Amino acid sequence: MAQETFLRAYQALARGERWDNPRAWLYRVASRLATDDYRRARLLHWLPLGDVHASRADSESIESRVAEKVDVRAALNALSPKYRIPLVLYVYEERTVDQIAETMGLSNSAVKMRLSRAREMFRQAYQQEGA
């Protein structure tokens, strides 16, 4: 993670970026990388693929989880990016409406509306995938 932080700093310097407080910038980059790594690990942790001695019932449960994960991915891919991006940021990245609005350059009310519509579209797409 430290290497990635300094690699990003080097790349930013190569692009000509300069900061008033480089130390604070490095801390911010490192903390974001750590948060992303934690979230990624948490998402992958729920699927117990490492258990070699799983019983038949456990393997069927794993298969159903994998099938569910495929259905969720397909339902998300069915959404247009306009709705998929705020939904993923809100649900998986655990970003606030304010953060999503800032990232996407939208108002808070626009983000809330897109989230509401995205949830409904996702429900419909997910039901079609499961059927």
14 pLDDT above the threshold of 50: yes
Residue 112 lies in a domain: yes
Answer whether 75's CB lies under 8 Å from 126's CB: yes
Cβ atoms of 22 and 10 within 8 Å: the answer is: no
Among candidate residues 91, 92, 90, the one with its CA nearest the CA of residue 103: 90
Domain check: are 97 and 60 in the same one? Answer: yes
Residues 71, 38 within the same domain: no
Q: Is the pLDDT of residue 131 over 50?
A: yes
More confidently predicted of 114 and 14: 114
pTM of the shown model = 0.52
Do 40 and 59 fall into the same domain? no
pLDDT (average), residues 113-127: 91
50 within domain boundaries: no
Statement to judge: residues 13 and 75 lie in one domain: no
Q: Let me know whether 5 and 32 are in one domain.
A: yes
**Phi, psi of 50, deg, nearest 5:** -80, -10
User: Quick one: 89 and 110 in the same domain?
Assistant: yes
- In the three-class reduction of DSSP (H, G, I as helix; E, B as strand; rest coil), residue 35 is classed as helix
- End-to-end, the C-alpha distance of the chain in Å comes to 42
What pLDDT is recorded for position 113? 96
Task: Residue 76: count other Cβ atoms within 10 Å of its Cβ.
Answer: 19
Same domain, 39 and 61: no
Quick one: 26 and 67 in the same domain? no
Could you say which DSSP state residue 94 is in? -
Q: Which domain holds residue 26?
A: 1-45
Total count of domains within the chain: 2
Q: How far is CA 110 from the centre of its chain?
A: 20
Q: Of 14-18, 19-23, 48-52, 58-62, which range is least confident?
A: 48-52
- Token digits for 39? 């979230």
| DSSP letter for each residue of 56-67 | HHHHHHHHHHHH
Query: Residue 126's domain is classified under what CATH number?
Result: 1.10.10.10
Alpha carbon distance 123, 128 (integer Å): 9
Over residues 38-60, the pLDDT tens digits come to: 777 665 554 444 444 455 455 55
Whether residue 116 sits in one domain with residue 62? yes
Residue 28: pLDDT band with limits 50, 70, 90: confident
